[in-house]
Amino acid sequence: MYRLDNRKGRVDRALADLGLADRQKQLAGSLSGGWKQRLALAACLLHEPKLLLLDEPTAGVDPKARRDFWDEIRRLSAVGVTVLVSTHYMDEAVQCDFIAYIAYGKKLVDGPSAEIPKQIGLVTWTVSGGDLSALEAALKDAPGVEQVARFGASLHVSGTDEATLQRTIDAHKDHGAYRWKKEEAGLEEAFIYLMAGARDNFARDAA
């Protein structure tokens, strides 16, 4: 707040914008994780910045608080504030206009969020039903299959050689216990794929 004018007015406005006005007399240490994050964001906005750097801003908060926090980030973006966010959550990353994946200090890929899977050339099939553990084991080293990842009650089977992957999928499609569907690869599939090929700094140094 150094050299800021109208400090009380700025504080009141920031608290109101972040829904904290009713908690103005509450000790910060008694706030929940989600409210503490809101308070931290309110403090960042006192000097009306044009650029915000947020390092894992929703770590440790509940899903409702995460959603509310991202609503605030979108509101700030809409009024011209550039927001740079680091996150491990792909459902948060997808809300960003532009994404860069970084592993062990190196950038793996960057671009508009919708274009990342296309840049990699990843093709994905989802499969549900039956004994998914057995199917996962059978697909692990199958031709064209570069990645098999469990997402809830389904498997996401991905690869970059579409023709070879298609032949492998066709060989399993006749098994009536499973339901197959070809879908566009998402950011999480892309992230898992890229991380699988990234090398740990220490592992490289040790070699």
Please name the helix (run of DSSP H) or strand (run of DSSP E) that holds residue 54, with its range, or none.
strand 51-55
Query: What is the count of structural domains for the chain?
Result: 2
Examine residue 82 and state whether it is found in any structural domain, yes or no: yes
Name residues whose C-beta falls within 8 Å of residue 104's C-beta, 6 or more positions apart in sequence.
198, 199, 200, 201
Looking at the structure, do residues 13 and 79 belong to the same domain, yes or no?
yes
Taking only the tens place, the pLDDT of each residue in 154-182 is: 999 999 999 999 999 998 887 778 899 99
Q: How confident is the model at residue 205 (pLDDT cuts 50, 70, 90)?
A: low
Looking at the structure, do residues 12 and 68 belong to the same domain, yes or no?
yes
pLDDT of residue 204: 55
Could you tell me the CATH number of the domain that includes residue 53?
A: 3.40.50.300
Q: How confident is the model at residue 202 (pLDDT cuts 50, 70, 90)?
A: low
| Residue span of the structural domain in which 179 resides | 123-184
Taking only the tens place, the pLDDT of each residue in 103-150 is: 888 898 999 988 888 888 899 999 998 888 989 999 988 999 999 999
Looking at the structure, do residues 19 and 81 belong to the same domain, yes or no?
yes
Examine residue 151 and state whether it is found in any structural domain, yes or no: yes
Mean of pLDDT over the chain: 87
Boundary residue ending a domain (67, 87, 107): 87
With contact defined as beta carbons under 8 Å apart, do 17 and 81 qualify? no
